Amino acid sequence: MHQSMKSFWAGVGAEFPLLVGVFPFGLIYGALALKSGLSAAAAQMMSAIVFAGSSQFVTAQLVHEAAPGLVIVLTIAVVNLRHMLYSASVAPYLKNLSMRWKTLLAYLLTDEAYAAAIIHYEEEELTPTSHWFFLGAGFSLWFTWQVSTALGIFLGAAIPESWPLDFALPLTFIAMVVPVLKDRPVIAAALSAGLVALLAFSLPYKLGLILAALIGITVGVLLEGRKSPQETP
Amino acid sequence: MNIWLVMLLGGMITFGMRLSFIYLLGRFEVPETMRRALRFVPPAVLSAIVFPEVLMPSGKLDISLDNHRFLAGVIAVLVAWRTKNTLLTILAGMAALLFLQLLF
């Protein structure tokens, strides 16, 4: 087998355990996006155009709440900010690639593809086919995300209207937040964001959400900054 | 704004952030404050969505036993905390809500 193909399949193999975890997420996203009022076409295309799980869940929720478009776009930007960090982290390994490769790998740079690729880059020496490993990891995740979204849309259509399925989105968010509440700054960030969201609920255009998120993030950063060294976990 | 336009803009911003440093390598570094702020983004944004959904389902603050979404949310938090399992959390919260709606 050609070396580049070997690298590609090694990337798929490294990504596989992550695919198992992502698949049910895609299913849930597909089903919930439909129940939030998105058309099947929009729900599916979002998985290709935005291609970032948590921001897609948030978008579905905001569409359900009839939030204005600009607020949704802003929220997507805030939720996906972390991708700049991934971009900075893999950039040195991609610097000799063509613009076409850089563009393709940037499109595929999700949480899960980053996790597999960065481990590979840090453990193995950079070889002429390393980018094929990244492509294998990224593309297999992309493919899994599209297929699981489609299946979720298909299954979601079968769920009776009377079920309070809109509640599954906040539940998904609870499942995402609770495990990261490990230290005081994070807990304070979550609580203050939640409280501000309650107080600012009546602000127009769902601006309360953006305000609450920004205050939560600020509280977290400030508390962490104040922390003395011996308190560091 | 049309949902397709929202998706297109959101997608372009996301792609732009993914490409940013790969494209600009060496010319800029991630500012330290932003690096530190990032880990607070998910808990802050998601809590800002969850709190009103669970505590004011009818648009007004309701922390009483009549608020089924509040009770189901508390159960979901407990399950998430104990199991760290997404699917189990969703199932437990949904089951709790359906059960409460059926009973009361």
Is there a contact between B55 and A91 if contact means CB atoms under 8 Å apart? no
Tell me how far apart the alpha carbons of residues A114 and A164 are, in angstroms, rounded to a whole number. 35
User: Could you write out the DSSP letters of every residue in A96-119?
Assistant: TS-HHHHHHHHHT--HHHHHHHHH
Q: Count CB neighbours of A211 within 10 A.
A: 17
Is there a contact between B48 and A213 if contact means CB atoms under 8 Å apart? yes
In this prediction, residue A88 carries a pLDDT of 87
The pLDDT tens digits of the residues spanning B38-68 come to: 889 889 988 998 999 999 988 889 999 899 9
The pLDDT tens digits of the residues spanning A138-179 come to: 999 999 999 999 999 999 888 777 777 778 888 988 988 999
Supply the Cα-derived Rg of chain B in whole angstroms.
20
Cβ(A136)–Cβ(A8) below 8 Å: yes
Query: What are the tokens at B90?
Result: 């969703």
The pLDDT tens digits of the residues spanning A96-145 come to: 899 999 999 999 999 889 988 988 988 888 888 999 999 999 999 999 99
Higher confidence at residue B33 or residue B64?
A: B64
Selected for mutation to probe chain B from A56, A159, A173 (highest B CB count within 10 Å) is: A173
Measuring CA to CA, how many Å separate B14 from each of A41, A116, B25, B79? Answer: 20, 20, 18, 32
Q: What is the mean pLDDT of residues A185-189?
A: 97
The pLDDT tens digits of the residues spanning B69-104 come to: 999 999 999 999 999 988 899 899 999 999 998 887
Using CB atoms within 10 Å of the CB of residue A151, give its burial: 0 to 12 exposed, 13 to 18 middle, 19+ buried: middle
Residue B27 — pLDDT band, cuts 50, 70, 90? low
Written as one letter, the residue type at A112 is E
In this prediction, residue B28 carries a pLDDT of 67
Query: What are the tokens at B2?
Result: 């049309």
- The average confidence (pLDDT) of chain A is 90
Tell me how far apart the alpha carbons of residues B5 and B13 are, in angstroms, rounded to a whole number. 12
Smallest CA–CA distance from B68 into chain A, residue: A167
Cβ(A22)–Cβ(A146) below 8 Å: no
Is there a contact between B77 and A50 if contact means CB atoms under 8 Å apart? no
∠ CA(A149), CA(B72), CA(A24), 5° rounding? 20
Tell me how far apart the alpha carbons of residues A56 and B3 are, in angstroms, rounded to a whole number. 12
Tell me how far apart the alpha carbons of residues A133 and A117 are, in angstroms, rounded to a whole number. 7
The pLDDT tens digits of the residues spanning A38-75 come to: 999 999 999 999 999 889 999 999 999 899 999 999 99
DSSP tag of A126: P
**H helices present in chain A, as ranges:** 3-35, 40-49, 53-64, 69-79, 82-94, 99-107, 111-123, 130-156, 168-177, 184-199, 207-226
Q: Where are the domains of chain B?
A: 1-30, 40-103
Is there a contact between A217 and B44 if contact means CB atoms under 8 Å apart? yes
Q: Which residues on chain B are in Cβ contact (under 8 Å) with A92?
A: 25
